[in-house]
A = this chain, B = another copy of it.
């Protein structure tokens, strides 16, 4: 159950309205990485979540993002105000001025309607937490770019407030993922094929205006992967020996989501991968 209090989470003040900046700010209202996207992604993951602790966290943060939507909306309305009366300002975003009357609506800075295609909701808790960490990183960088494009002090401060909260949330989601106790690259319940999972395929090669081959070698090494060249160029190619998926071969957590597509049998037992599927 939701409740609204007639007070902004952060009080917004600006100096001179800057309609084109208000237009830019719409990225954080109705844009792909904006506050509604965050609110919806976390809240709906929360609706679906089977683990009470992480459900609580998702609802806490999802609801805070709704409050941010209201704050950034108030900030934008202040900047858009000249669109109501000034033709030049109106040209900055005719959708806002002509169709929207100079107020906020769920569009981004170029007038694309907000779409749930922006959201990443898989119903697998660990996967969703990965998506949320990335979402917070994106929201942070977008706020920073907006800060860099304005000189208005009140606007800068409001954006600094909102930007800071994204890092807080990024830390919370990271802790939520790590305290699940899963190995770093453990996703779901079926382990990847041994051997093949360690092969890095070198699929962009040569030397030219777009770079040269081998530049990624140190990263490949850091990932403990082995570089394999394409058959196309005399390499041996990836190991494509057929391998059969082994149910419950991946290490899982007690709080993992119910796997999808399996006979219902309660939570999968937590076991070590034992299958020797290929030599």
- The oligomer's copy count stands at 6
- For residue A14, CB closer than 8 A to chain B, the reply is no
CB distance from A114 to the nearest CB of B (A): 4
Number of interface residues of A (CB under 8 A): 175
> Judging by beta carbons under 8 Å apart, are A209 and B24 in contact?
no
Which residues of A from 14 to 55 have beta carbons under 8 Å from B? 20, 23-24, 27, 30-33, 36, 40, 44, 46-48, 52-55
Whether A274 is near chain B, meaning CB under 8 Å from some CB there, is no
Query: Are A5 and B208 also in contact (CB < 8 A) when A90-B149, A130-B137 are?
Result: yes
- Inter-subunit contact B171/A185 (CB<8 Å): yes
Instruction: Report the bound CA distance from A85 to B264 in whole Å.
Output: 6
Q: Are B102 and A123 in contact (CB under 8 A)?
A: yes
Cα–Cα, bound, A93→B160 (Å): 23
**How would residues 121 to 151 of chain A score, 1 for a CB under 8 Å from any chain B CB and 0 otherwise?**
1111011001101100110111011111100
Q: A253 on the interface (CB 8 Å rule)?
A: no
For residue A144, which residue of chain B has the nearest CB? B188
Contact check, A163 vs B137: say whether CB atoms are below 8 A apart: no
* Across-interface contacts of A279 in B (CB, < 8 A): none
Cβ-based interface call for A262 (8 A) = yes
Against B, the Cβ 8 Å flags (1 = close, 0 = not) of A210-253 are 11111110111011110000111100011010111101000000
CB-CB contacts below 8 Å: A52-105 with B: 52-57, 59-64, 66-67, 70, 73-74, 77, 83-85, 87, 90-95, 97-105
Would you call A261 and B116 a contact (CB within 8 A)? no
